[in-house]
Amino acid sequence: MKKSNITVFIEVFNEEERIESCLKSFSWVDEIILFDKHSTDRTREIAEKYATEIILVPFCEGSENVVNNITSHPSSEWCLFPTASSLMHPDLADEIIKLTCDPNFEYDVIGMPYGMYSLGIRNSKSPFYVSHKYTLIRRSKLRLSTILHHEISFSSAKVFTMPLISADAVLYHCTHKNIDSMWGHILRYCKYEANHDEFLTIKRTLVDVLKAIYTILFRRRTILLGMDGLALSLGYIGYFAIRFMFVWDKIRKNGEVIYPEIRKKIDDLWYSRDVDK
Give me the helix-helix angle, 227-250 and 202-214, nearest 10°.
170
d(CA 168, CA 115): 8
Predicted pLDDT at 196: 85
Residues 76 and 151 placed together within one structural domain of the fold: yes
Mean pLDDT on 77-98: 96
Residues 131 and 207 placed together within one structural domain of the fold: no
Residues 10 and 134 placed together within one structural domain of the fold: yes
Domain membership of residue 247 (yes or no) is: yes
Residues 65 and 14 placed together within one structural domain of the fold: yes
Segment 19-56, tens digit of pLDDT = 999 999 999 999 999 999 999 999 999 999 999 999 99
Residues 103 and 31 placed together within one structural domain of the fold: yes
Residues 220 and 129 placed together within one structural domain of the fold: no
Residues 106 and 164 placed together within one structural domain of the fold: yes
Segment 59-71, tens digit of pLDDT = 877 666 666 777 6
DSSP per residue over 200-222, as a string? --HHHHHHHHHHHHHIIIIIS-G
Predicted pLDDT at 75: 76
Domain finish residue from 122, 153, 175: 175
Domain membership of residue 260 (yes or no) is: no
d(CA 54, CA 15): 14
Domain membership of residue 270 (yes or no) is: no
d(CA 79, CA 36): 18
The answer, yes or no, to whether residue 111 has pLDDT greater than 90, is yes
Domain membership of residue 221 (yes or no) is: yes
Domain membership of residue 56 (yes or no) is: yes
Q: Can you say how many angstroms the Cα of residue 4 is from the centroid of all Cα atoms in its chain?
A: 25
Q: How far is CA 267 from CA 99, 271, 277, in A?
A: 72, 6, 16
Segment 183-233, tens digit of pLDDT = 999 999 999 899 888 889 999 999 999 999 999 999 999 999 999 999 999
List own/partner pairs for 91-95 with CB under 8 A and 24 or more apart. 91/165, 91/166, 91/168, 91/169, 92/162, 92/165, 92/169, 92/170, 92/171, 93/25, 93/28, 95/162, 95/165, 95/169
d(CA 41, CA 20): 13
Residues 23 and 154 placed together within one structural domain of the fold: yes
Residues 141 and 201 placed together within one structural domain of the fold: no
Mean pLDDT on 239-245: 97
The answer, yes or no, to whether residue 258 has pLDDT greater than 60, is yes
Q: Residue type for 184, please?
A: G
Domain finish residue from 153, 175, 197: 175
Whether the CB-CB separation of 159 and 107 falls below 8 Å is answered with: yes
Domain membership of residue 262 (yes or no) is: no
The answer, yes or no, to whether residue 244 has pLDDT greater than 80, is yes
Number of structural domains in the chain:
2
Residues 166 and 215 placed together within one structural domain of the fold: no
Residues 111 and 210 placed together within one structural domain of the fold: no
Domain membership of residue 272 (yes or no) is: no
Give the global pTM. 0.89
Domain of residue 237, residue span: 180-255
63 vs 75: which has the higher pLDDT: 75
Q: Look up the CATH number of the domain holding residue 112.
A: 3.90.550.10
Domain membership of residue 261 (yes or no) is: no
Domain finish residue from 144, 175, 206: 175
d(CA 73, CA 62): 20
Residues 82 and 197 placed together within one structural domain of the fold: no
